[in-house]
């Protein structure tokens, strides 16, 4: 019996288009799968791999299903490489061999971020592939400007071996907040003490559409409030009210599109909508109606580059000061103080061009060119005046280890901003988005 062993390599060194052309040439007659073998698995359980495959033994093997299966495995983000091999056998049968290189996913960490005048230190341990079953479990200590908190979470992204995500989060956080003018002048500050429990359940109906529901229990209290006399009286009243508010919220999630990962490179588009409600129907002390619409797009570029774009639109009707949008600093627009643009509605644009100057199996040095923009108002209908748009542009650097899950050090420098800004450097871990 004549056997032919050939390798179809889907790695960072070749493009997906080239791989698809190669596979199409060899699988034009759609052979039958005789056997499936996994190589290189030290920790991950085989059933984690099987449930991502779009074929099984005795199925006809098509180019489309093989490529999609390999991409499903890469999207787990627990492997640094996934390489398919095909061994042809008699009677148009084929043995599928998949070679894996697993990432280190048990991550003890001590990290910090600084941006917008706020320092955030956190330490803990988590694992996205706990017990080799693709379950995430973690615990974390938080320190916001010397205020202490703890957080724990459990995430199962394949609940009951189906494409259902269960998220459980519980913790206590003391979050300092500055009260700033649009020109970055400090008016006051307070600390939000929050105990919370969150539960989310999200179902993937198709690879490109997901929907779900969430519930939150929060116990909020404002402590250590300080302010100047220029604050509006309603804000003063909230800061002086030390009563604990017990809140119950329900959320709905809807997502369209799909992002494909190849280690630190991303391609695809996804649009996500979150609607959140709290009030008399949920027996919440705080009345809240909020929506956030987030859109992300990534393009693979030559020389292992990535173009990344995020556009967000959000609005809330809440009066409680701790539930307003605090735009600026960590997650919004670089070059501005943390929470500098407090509002009930905003749109935000983040864009980056990412390209490495050095690449190896263990280390990638990635350079960033970014442009951020944001506009805030009390209502979306008021987001019309272009003169009220705040922006920043600059450069950054990332230190990435492809062999270690989520290892990414970040430094950004805002070279150009609009108006009064007192924070040009931000650093921490993970990509900005």
422 shares a domain with 344: yes
Q: According to the model, what pLDDT value does residue 132 have? A: 97
Query: What mean pLDDT do residues 255-282 have?
Result: 96
Residue 64, phi then psi, degrees to nearest 5: -60, -50
Alpha-carbon distance 389 to 68, whole Å?
A: 41
Domain boundary among 79, 102, 125: 102
Give the rounded percent of residues in the chain with a pLDDT score beyond 90. 70
Band (159; pLDDT cuts 50, 70, 90) = very high
Query: What mean pLDDT do residues 359-383 have?
Result: 95
248 shares a domain with 129: yes
Higher pLDDT: 6 or 260? It is 260
* pLDDT tens digits for range 198-246: 999 999 999 999 999 999 999 999 988 888 777 888 888 888 888 899 9
Residue 21 has pLDDT above 60, yes or no: no
37 shares a domain with 110: no
Q: Which of 144-158, 173-187, 292-306 has the lowest mean pLDDT?
A: 173-187
Q: 272, 313 in Cβ contact below 8 A?
A: no
382 shares a domain with 316: yes
Query: What mean pLDDT do residues 42-50 have?
Result: 97
Residues 6+ apart with CB under 8 A from 329: 115, 116, 117, 118, 336, 337, 338, 339, 340, 423, 426
Q: b vs e for 38-66, b when ≥16 Cβ sit within 10 Å of the residue's Cβ? A: eeebebbeeebbeebbebeeeeebbbebb
Q: According to the model, what pLDDT value does residue 178 have? A: 86
Residue 74 has pLDDT above 70, yes or no: yes
Higher pLDDT: 117 or 343? It is 343
In whole angstroms, how far apart are CA 365 and each of 401, 415, 432?
9, 21, 16
* pLDDT tens digits for range 384-413: 877 789 999 999 999 999 999 989 999 999
Residue 40 has pLDDT above 90, yes or no: yes
Give the rounded percent of residues in the chain with a pLDDT score beyond 70. 91
Q: According to the model, what pLDDT value does residue 13 have? A: 33
135 shares a domain with 61: no
Residue with tokens 């920790």: 43
136 shares a domain with 159: yes
Q: According to the model, what pLDDT value does residue 398 have? A: 97
* pLDDT tens digits for range 321-342: 999 999 987 678 999 988 889 9
Q: According to the model, what pLDDT value does residue 252 have? A: 98
Query: How many distinct helices (H) and strands (E) make up the chain?
Result: 4, 22
Domain boundary among 51, 85, 102: 102
Residue 111 has pLDDT above 80, yes or no: no
Residues 6+ apart with CB under 8 A from 145: 118, 119, 176
Residue 310 has pLDDT above 80, yes or no: yes
137 shares a domain with 32: no
Alpha-carbon distance 339 to 196, whole Å?
A: 21
For 226-245, the three-class secondary structure string (H helix, E strand, C coil) is EECCCCCHHHHHHHHCCCCE
382 shares a domain with 265: yes
Q: According to the model, what pLDDT value does residue 12 have? A: 30
Alpha-carbon distance 230 to 250, whole Å?
A: 36
Q: According to the model, what pLDDT value does residue 28 have? A: 57
Question: How many domains, in total, are found in the chain?
Answer: 2
226 shares a domain with 143: yes
CATH number at 39 reads 3.10.20.310
Nearest to 357 by CA among 396, 416, 303: 303
167 shares a domain with 28: no
Q: What is the mean pLDDT of the chain?
A: 89
CATH number at 337 reads 2.40.160.50
Domain boundary among 102, 136, 167: 102
Give the three-class secondary structure for 69: helix
409 shares a domain with 264: yes
Q: According to the model, what pLDDT value does residue 413 have? A: 94
119 shares a domain with 84: no
Range of the domain at 137: 106-429
Q: Which residues pair with 415 in a beta bridge?
A: none
């Amino acid at each position: 019996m004549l056997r032919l062993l050939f390798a179809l390599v889907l790695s960072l060194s070749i493009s997906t288009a080239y791989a698809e052309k190669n596979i199409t040439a060899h699988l034009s007659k759609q052979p039958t799968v005789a056997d499936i073998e996994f190589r290189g698995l030290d920790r991950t359980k085989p059933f984690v791999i099987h449930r991502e495959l779009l074929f099984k033994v005795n199925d006809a093997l098509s180019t489309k299903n093989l490529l999609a299966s390999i991409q499903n495995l890469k999207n787990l983000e627990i492997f640094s490489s996934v390489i398919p091999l095909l061994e042809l056998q008699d009677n148009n049968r084929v043995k599928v061999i998949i070679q894996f290189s697993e990432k280190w996913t048990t991550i003890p960490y001590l990290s910090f971020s600084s941006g917008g005048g706020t320092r955030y230190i956190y330490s803990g341990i988590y694992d996205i592939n706990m017990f080799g079953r693709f379950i995430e479990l973690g615990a974390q200590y938080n320190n916001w400007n010397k205020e202490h908190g703890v957080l724990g979470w459990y995430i199962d992204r394949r609940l009951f071996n189906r494409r259902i995500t269960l998220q459980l989060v519980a913790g206590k956080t003391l979050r300092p907040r500055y009260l700033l003018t649009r020109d970055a002048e400090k008016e006051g500050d307070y600390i939000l003490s929050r105990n919370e429990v969150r539960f989310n359940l999200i179902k993937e109906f198709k690879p490109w559409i997901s929907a779900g529901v969430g519930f939150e229990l929060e116990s909020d209290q404002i402590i250590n409030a300080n302010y100047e006399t220029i604050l509006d009286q309603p804000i003063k009243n909230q800061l002086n009210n030390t009563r604990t508010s017990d809140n119950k919220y329900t959320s709905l999630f809807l997502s369209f599109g799909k992002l494909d990962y190849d280690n630190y490179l991303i391609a695809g588009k996804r649009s996500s909508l979150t609607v959140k409600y709290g009030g008399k129907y949920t027996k919440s002390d705080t009345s809240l109606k909020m929506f956030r619409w987030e859109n992300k797009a990534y393009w693979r570029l030559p020389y292992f580059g990535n173009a990344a774009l995020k556009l967000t639109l959000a609005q809330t009707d809440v009066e409680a000061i701790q539930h307003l949008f605090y735009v600026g600093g960590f997650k919004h627009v670089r070059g501005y103080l943390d929470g500098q643009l407090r509002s009930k509605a905003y749109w935000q644009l983040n864009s980056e061009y990412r390209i490495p100057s050095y690449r190896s199996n263990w280390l990638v040095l990635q350079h960033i060119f970014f442009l951020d923009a944001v506009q805030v108002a009390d209502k979306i209908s008021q987001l019309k005046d272009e003169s009220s748009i705040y922006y920043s542009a600059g450069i950054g650097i990332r230190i990435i280890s492809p062999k270690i899950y989520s290892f990414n050090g970040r430094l950004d420098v805002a070279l150009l901003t609009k108006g009064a800004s007192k924070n040009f450097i931000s650093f921490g871990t993970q990509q900005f988005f």
